[in-house]
Structure 1
Amino acid sequence: MHNNNNDLTLSAPLSGPVLSLRSVPDPVFASGAMGDGIAIDPLNNTLHAPCAGQVIQVARTGHAVTLRAANGAELLLHLGLDTVELQGEGFALLVEEGQQVNAGQPLLWVDLDYVAQHCRSLISLLILTNGEGFDLRHLPLSSVKVGEPLLHITPRANQAAQAQTQAHSSEQASARIKVAHRGGLHARPAALVRQTAEGFSSRSQLIFKDQSASCSSLMALMGLGIGEQDEVLVSCQGADCQEALQALLKTLGTALAADTHAATPAPAQIAHRPTEDGVLHGVCAAPGLVSGPLFRLNAIALPEDLGEHQPQAQRLALSAALDQVRRDIRHTLEQARQRRNQEEQDIFNAHLALLEDPTLLDASDAAIAQGRAATHAWSAAITEQCQVLQQLGNPLLAERANDLRDLQQQVLRALLGEAWHCDLPAGAIVAAEELTPSDLLQLSAQGVAGLCMAAGGATSHVAILARGKGLPCLVALGQEVLGIGNGQQVVLDADGGRLELAPDPRRIEQVQQTADSRRQRRQSQQQQAHASALTRDGQQIEVAANVASSEEAREAHQGGADGVGLLRTEFLFVDRHSAPDEVEQRQAYQAVLDAMGDKPVIIRTIDVGGDKQLDYLPLPVEANPVLGLRGIRLALARPELLDQQLRALLQVTPLQRCRVMLPMVTEVAELLQIRQRLDALAAELGLAQRPELGVMIEVPAAALMAEQLAEHADFLSIGTNDLSQYTLAMDRDHAGLAARVDALHPALLRLIAQTCAGAARHGRWVGVCGALACDPLATPVLIGLGVSELSVSPPQVGEIKDRVRQLDAAECRHLAQSLLNLPGAAAVRQACARHWPLHP
């Protein structure tokens, strides 16, 4: 081994026949998802260091070692395939983590006979796991002996200095964490990991099941096949390694909000397809019932590539196409930001990260260097990575291959100079093998009525977008859907998982009547949205809106909201590097008050901490963040933040329209402490008036102490989302439990009843600002238990007001009490549907 100007020649760590990675019988290694390298079928029983370096990771089960060379190259030496399953039997480690080793030094010993009999293969690997910074040249060898030259590594231009600096930094940090993201480390969370790592100078990697991946490569991260709640080791090296580690731990340990909305189909829906003439059965990805003509959307097909293209011209063409697609995606992202659509932002941020992924770009460049056309090189690189994801055995990761196919099509269109076009009549139902997120946005803009896919899944990004757009969508219909003639009238019953291929005129008329009646009812609701919501016996219920900006407040006011029942002030504090000052906060709160005309506005003080972290507010990583330092607890721990916010709130005008609400209160002392602080700050500002001060009831302790809290609070507002998970001891972001976290559980209803009763003893009103307020089925129950204000999403104001007007409050009070004794949430829902049926 020699090291000259950071060039590095690696010597053979084992003796035996040399194999290319492509011939390794393991899809992750063979695809290059772990990185480039070489394989050896070993004839000796000791693994030697291919160069001098530091041992940065040793497998718990003794079958693999990772070294970092002086020039920053990270080398995984992996003995055998599936040897992790031997749990260390047959291996003996000869070095330990952190140790400096010389070239040729023995690293581990293996009992070749035992391991050969108990594992899939003895084929062993030498992998460069951070290949994005290096060029690797294979020496033409068919077999090798320990210590003979095997591979040559050269740092890329502009990478050498950085690699040298990082390699000389002796600072390291590592920690283990369980991955919180539903479905594991698929495209969106992997993109967040990559984005987080890029914010630091340190080199970071994840190690899982004794395989490692640089945090700079999205494909390598996804290629690890990390599942939800799998434990990974995060390793960082560099001057800011501690900061990088904490940021990565936060990213890995915090579930994406968008993940919590993904509807996972029940296994029975997929495993069992009923047989019915003239009907195709699939899985509901987005609900709805529509009829219309079916039209098929086809992907781009490429002609045969004869090769012998000029590499430089093809590289320039691919670079220009990638730039064009990046611009298009950034435009889409900006529109999503303006609409504050976080789900779309997450999806298209992941697409941007994929476009910059070194695994894809290197594979394309290598194919172009061999004379292939840019179109075919890019298409082949995508296809290869799709196969990797689909072979990992993880359905969610397999669905993420659809995001790669989206980028494949977009870049091909840019290379071929073809704009996205499909002549469709308004109201068409579109069928495709598998639609992509960019397809969906285009189709939605063209006014299609519904979507059908032969493949796809209910947890795909397309499904998330379809639900957000209100487009009925069926997936997993099978290839039959692609054989239906264009223009054929069909009925798409996504709620029932059915595509009816030959509906008679009566059925089409029935579907259209149902759609018309829903549309008319929505129009009627909207026309009446500005009127008061009075029950049939004259009780008024305020229907307010939950908002997170002055734009949403304006929408709520135009939609008939009686006020803002919850302003989430976190919108001012997140996605920035420093806290907003007092002036910025006051202007933002004033803008919300101005947008609401003469209506009241309830402003919740900052609710961060635990699982909602701020970059400029470093807090310890918590094992159980939803039970940690959050809400009012954080505000009391960092009083300067709360004081600044309270001062800003006290300066809005008119102050009597502003109400302040405290999150996560558990005892009276917390409320009294904030009231005293509010009084002191008002006195400092020379104010005689005080805003009303209320508390959120979102932990069981607050509900049980409602009477005592109501003595000192001006109002109570129930946050049913957190109250549900704390009462039922079920994480509402847990993939397997989310469907059971139902706020209509009798235990929740008992806490709501107790809250209302406690508040009534002191003449205080009670509102609900959680998701239960948005559920029309729950409206009569909440009114019956004593709730007098419902705060909902702005588009639902008219619907909930309409629901209130259909009810008799006295009857609601009589029937609601009987629901408290039912055995579970399902029984409550059935009783509600029987007592107070919804419109079809």
Structure 2
Amino acid sequence: MPNNNKELTLSAPLSGPVLTLTNVPDAVFASGAMGDGIAIDPLNDTLYAPCDGEVIHVARTGHAVTLRADNGAELLLHLGLDTVELQGDGFFMLVKEGTRVSNGQALLRYDLDKVAQRCKSLVSLLVITNGEHFQARPITLKGVKVGEPLLHVVPRAPGAGQLDDLEVGIEVSGQIRIAHRGGLHARPAALVRQTARGFKSRSQLHFGGRSASCDSVMGMMGLAITEQAEVHVSCRGSDAEAALQALLASLSTALAEEAHSRAPQVLTTRHAAEEGVLHGVCAAPGLASGPLVRLDGIQLPKDPGGHNVEEQRQRLLDALAQVSQDIQLTLENAKARRHVDEQAIFSAHLALLEDPALLDAAYLSIEQGSAAAHAWSRSIDVQCQVLRQLQSMLLAERANDLHDLRQRVLRALLGEAWQFEVPAGAIVVAQELTPSDLLQLCAQGVAGVCMAEGGATSHVAILARGKGLPCLVALGDALLEQLPGQSVVLDADGGRLELTPSAERLAQVRQAQSQRAALRAQQQTLAHAPARTLDGVDVEVAANVASSAEAGQAFANGADGVGLLRTEFLFVDRHTAPNEQEQRQAYQAVLDAMGDRPVIIRTIDVGGDKQLDYLPLPAEANPVLGLRGIRLGQVRPELLDQQLRALLQIRPLHRCRILLPMVTEVAELLHIRQRIDVLGAQMGLEQRPQVGVMIEVPAAALLAEQLAEHADFLSIGTNDLSQYTLAMDRDHAGLAARVDALHPALLRLIAQTCAGAARHGRWAGVCGALASDPLATPVLIGLGVRELSVSPPQVGEIKDRVRRLDTAQCRRVSTDLLNLPSAAAVRQACHQHWPLG
């Protein structure tokens, strides 16, 4: 049985000169992403065991073997660099997995001349892959012969009870296909780390013949795991089985915010040379003008070295603690405002700030005499190099998150003010801005941002879109040569930064901005008035909200009610389910925020791409076709009953309307109605709230007439209805642009839903994203929709759109649209019949 308390001396497995990992000509090994260890440039043709132990992995191509030493240290012995590409030619493995070996026993032989001529380098590695429990201390950095002392392996201080847990625990493993769009980049890796830390067991990911601890975000990112790749997960400890299931679920479930953070469709085009114009990629749309202001990153002077190790180590510790506290405040602020994208981004930053690959590299540099600032900066630069060499554009963009941490920690170390003063209305240019920079710039009222580097899927781009801030990226180094103070025009929609706009052009942009602002102000003054068409048909314009704070915003913006309260906000980001009292208070707060207006509350809709830590669900090959919505209530009725009891306690009850998600047949509706009657009787209630059905699967739309017989209203969720009807995942990078709810097939289902509702005197509304699209407003009204639930800031705009329409004309045109061949044809027709602006 392994004894993790024991130190271990490893003997040289090869003869030759010794190198530290930082001198290995391979960015992944040099960065420590694979683990701590040592390297040898071999002079002999046989690899020997450095200690007693068990062979736990043999590379399929025969170039590497992993041992577990008797003290539990797991040792990867990797012969040469990029030797996996030789596909085993020239290698002869002498042991098998499960073999017990002795110190000095031959493990593999290789044809020294053949391998040396065909591989990148013969430099070979001895790496501790479970470095969260052990650290390596070199004995010598001179040449060694096989069997000579090479490395001390020293256990790190374990957490309380951790040692015993690993000793008595079992080891389990499983395979899963990565569901995260773009693969295992920073945010999903941080989620995996968070999941792993909830268990006592030690967990690792294995991919492409390499392994990484689930405790290291950088280590997992260094595996370069792509979307839909199959990975191997292993867990060891007393709760290994539970840890494994949780990790498999985490890896196989796309992040909820990915649906909201999708980058706009970008078409790469070659622009003809145009004097005075720089071309880039639109990361966030918009038009703006203003003086150009440049932001530069921190540049460090040359480090003379020879610093006091303990003093520099403490300085870095203090700076890290300060930055961690700052990020935690940003994270809490984002959570309070229910900004899902910001939460995900800064949670990942917090995880990176604690990453052992970053910290160990920085502390090692300090021990070698570097100043804390230079050690931290060097550690970040090495990891950025790793990400950029992984041949993944998405991972290369994630290096920007590391730059953010570099700047924040350096400011804390050097005493530079975190704040930078930028005048309101400026167009900010930089090599590459960080998420923290962007939040501060938004608070200072800048008009737009431009970056020489960056990408449309970067975290900065996601935040810019969420803030409505025009943003261009990938403009090139010429951007940084521009003189500050000059007036420029940022046309993000056209991918252009106009450096020498004429006075007429500047006036044109200012006029367009003024007209837009005036129109918004005019719409807002009438936002509280009813939305009535030219021929006298009333259309209710409600708001989609996820908290009482958003409900208050909706009320202030003139919403006629809440068309969709997503109750998931109460259930996510916590370790236990909210109790009945907590739910009742939250729902009551939303009703109170809406004055005397109705509130539609959707019962919990998790499962699919929305998972709960305390409600483990089996990993599903197609989560969006599995246990989600009302189906979850069928397998966990106590969860739904608790929510229904909380809803029945709201006062006044007549303003509360209950909405059921993912209904596919009448029996599901009747069952919930019966449960509400039973619970209401138990609580002594004489009144019952209205109950509606979400139409978000084609089956529900086709059965709309039957459902309307027993429902009080129907609410169409166009987001899910689109992907289920078109058989296209709306989060799929290659298909997302084609998932358009104005597709004629969707319009036919909406028309059938409205007709089915009307036959029983019920109303039909739309609470999906299509309701917020002004181009779609006349189509929906023409098909019979009488309630539109939109994002709170758009209430005034959509009401203004309704007031300019004639229902009869909308009906005639919309009927013709059902016969068009595509969504693009529908949109073109809408622009012709009901132009925007």
Q: TM-score, normalised by structure 1?
A: 0.95
Cα distance in 2 between the residues matched to 1:99 and 1:546: 61
The 1-side partners of 2:100 and 2:549 are apart by 58
Contact 1:84 1:209 in 2 (8 A): no
Counterparts of 1:13-24 in structure 2, within 5 Å, are: 13-15=13-15, 18-24=18-24
Q: Is the 8 A contact 1:47 1:108 kept in 2?
A: yes
Partner of 2:687: 689
Aligned equivalent of 1:336: 334
Cα distance in 1 between the residues matched to 2:688 and 2:113: 81
Kindly provide the amino acid, as one letter, of the partner of residue 228 in structure 2. Q
Paired position in structure 2 for 1:133: 133
Q: What corresponds to 2:307 in structure 1?
A: 309
Instruction: Specify the alignment match of 1:218 in structure 2.
Output: 217
Q: 1:753 to 1:109 in 2, by over 3 A?
A: farther
Please list the CA deviations of residues 567-611 of structure 1 after superposition, one character each: whole Å capped at 9, or x if unmatched: 111122222222222222222222211211111111111111233
1:717 corresponds, among 694, 715, 718, to 715
CA contact 1:564–1:600 (8 Å) conserved in 2? yes
After TM superposition, list the pairs within 5 Å mapping 1:434-445 onto structure 2: 434-445=432-443
Residue of structure 1 aligned with 2:728, choices 720, 727, 730: 730
> Does structure 2 conserve the Cα–Cα contact (< 8 Å) formed by 1:169 and 1:237?
no
Q: Which amino acid aligns with 1:256?
A: L
For the 8 Å contact 1:66–1:77, the answer to whether it is kept is: yes
Q: 1:793 to 1:506 in 2, by over 3 A?
A: same
Deviation sequence 1:340-371 (CA, Å, 0-9, x none):
11111111111111221112212221222222
Give the Cα separation in 2 of the matches to 1:795 and 1:692: 27
What is the match of residue 604 of structure 2? 606
Whether the 8 Å CA contact 1:70–1:167 is kept in 2: the answer is no
Matched, 1:11 2:11: yes
Instruction: Name the counterpart of 2:31.
Output: 31
> After the TM superposition, which residues 203-602 of structure 1 pair with which residues of structure 2 at under 5 Å, given as runs?
203-264=202-263, 268-269=267-268, 272-602=270-600
Amino acid aligned to 2:701: A
Q: Is contact 1:262–1:464 with CA below 8 Å preserved after alignment?
A: yes
Shift of 1:491: 0.4
Distance 1:202 1:92 in 2: 35
Which of 750, 754, 757 pairs up with 2:755?
757
> For residues 50-75 of structure 1, what are the alpha-carbon distances to aligned partners after superposition, in whole Å with 9 as ceiling and x for unaligned?
33334444434444333333333222
The question of whether the paired residues in 1 share the 8 Å contact of 2:432 and 2:454 is answered with: yes
CA distance in 1, matches of 2:141, 2:548: 67
Question: 2: CA distance between counterparts of 1:247 and 1:274?
Answer: 52
Q: CA shift at 1:94, angstroms?
A: 5.5
Greater shift after overlay, 174-183 or 208-217? Answer: 174-183
Q: By how many angstroms is 1:543 displaced?
A: 0.7
Structure 1 unaligned regions, length at least 5: none
Give the structure 1 partner of residue 170 of structure 2: 171
The one-letter code sitting in structure 2 at the alignment partner of 1:324 is Q
Deviations along 1:55-101, one digit per CA (max 9) or x if unpaired, are 44443444433333333322222234334345556556555556654
Paired residue secondary structure (1:552)? helix
The residue aligned with 2:635 is 637
> Which letter maps to 2:563?
G
The residue number in structure 1 matching 2:73 is 73
State the distance in 1 between where 2:363 and 2:495 align: 43
CA distance in structure 2 between the partners assigned to 1:531 and 1:790 by the alignment:
15
Aligned-partner Cα distance in 2 for 1:47–1:164: 31
Contact 1:3 1:9 in 2 (8 A): no
Please list the CA deviations of residues 635-656 of structure 1 after superposition, one character each: whole Å capped at 9, or x if unmatched: 0111111112112212212111
Moved more, 493-502 or 130-139: 130-139
Q: Which residue of 2 aligns with 1:616?
A: 614
Question: Aligned residue for 2:767?
Answer: 769
Alignment map for 1:47-126 (pairs within 5 Å)? 47-87=47-87, 97=97, 101-108=101-108, 119-126=119-126
User: Distance between the aligned counterparts of 2:51 and 2:144, measured in 1?
Assistant: 16
Which of 661, 673, 676 matches 2:671? 673
Structure 1 residue 127, shift from structure 2 partner = 1.1
Contact 2:4–2:71 (CA<8 Å) still a contact in 1?
no
> Per the alignment, in what secondary structure is the counterpart of residue 430 of structure 1?
strand
Aligned to 1:655: 653
Kept in 1: contact 2:5–2:155 (CA 8 A): no
Matched residues in 2 for 1:170 and 1:48: separation? 30
SS of 1:314's equivalent in the other structure is helix
What secondary structure sits across from 1:626 in the alignment? helix
* Cα root mean square deviation, aligned: 2.3
- Cα distance between partner residues in 1 of 2:284 and 2:466: 9
Tell me if 1:180 matches 2:179.
yes
Change (3 A) 1:95 1:570: farther
Q: Which of 8-17 and 313-322 deviates more? A: 8-17
Specify whether residues 43 and 604 from structure 1 end up closer, same or farther in structure 2 by C-alpha distance, changes over 3 A only: same
Which residues of structure 2 form unaligned runs of 5+? none
Does the aligned pair in 2 maintain the 1:75–1:128 contact within 8 Å? yes
Structure 2 contact 253–608 (Cα < 8 Å) conserved:
no
Quickly say closer, same or farther: Cα 1:566–1:96, change in 2 above 3 A.
farther
2:576 counterpart letter in structure 1: S
User: 1:683 deviation in Å?
Assistant: 1.8
| Structure 1 residue 299: Cα displacement | 1.3
Moved more, 55-64 or 740-749: 55-64
Identity %: 72
Cα gap change, 1:630/1:267 in structure 2, threshold over 3 Å: closer, same or farther? closer
Deviation of the 1:108 alpha carbon: 4.9
- Kindly state the Cα deviation for residue 432 of structure 1 after the two structures are TM-superposed: 0.9
Counterparts in 2 of 1:520 and 1:618: CA distance versus 1, 3 Å? same
* Cα distance change, pair 707–364 in 1 and its aligned pair in 2 (3 A): same
Letter in 1 for 2:558: G
Letter in 2 for 1:480: A
Distance 2:130 2:620 in 1: 30
Contact 2:27–2:382 (CA under 8 A) maintained in structure 1 = no
More displaced stretch, 87-96 vs 301-310: 87-96
Question: Is this contact kept in 2: 1:545–1:561, CA < 8 A?
Answer: yes
SS of alignment partner, residue 788 of structure 2: strand
Q: CA deviation at 1:25?
A: 3.5
Whether the aligned pair in 2 keeps the contact of 1:71 and 1:164 (CA below 8 Å) is: no
State the shift of 1:614 in Å.
1.8
Q: Residues 71 and 494 (structure 1 numbering): CA distance in 2 closer, same or farther, change over 3 Å?
A: same
Shift of 1:261: 3.7
Q: TM-score, normalised by structure 2?
A: 0.95
| Deviation of 1:123 (Å) | 4.0
**Residue 170 of structure 1, CA deviation:** 4.3
Secondary structure of 1:131 counterpart: coil
CA offset at residue 22 of structure 1? 3.9
- Alpha-carbon separation, structure 1, partners of 2:97 and 2:714: 55
Partner letter of residue 172 of structure 1?
E
| C-alpha contact 1:70 1:164 (8 A) present in aligned 2 | no
Give secondary structure in 2 for the equivalent of 1:492.
strand
Contact 1:431–1:481 (Cα < 8 Å) also in 2: yes
Aligned-residue offset at 1:146: 4.3
Cα shift at 1:213? 0.8
Give the counterpart letter for 2:50 in structure 1: P
Residues 86 and 761 (structure 1 numbering): CA distance in 2 closer, same or farther, change over 3 Å? farther
* Separation (CA, whole Å) in 2 of partners of 1:266 and 1:407: 29
Secondary structure of 1:712 counterpart: coil
1:246-286 C-alpha deviation (Å, 9 max, x unpaired): 221222222223333445476753x6243111111011111
- Encode CA deviations 1:667-719: one digit per residue, 9 max, x unaligned: 11111111122122222222222211111111111111111111111111111
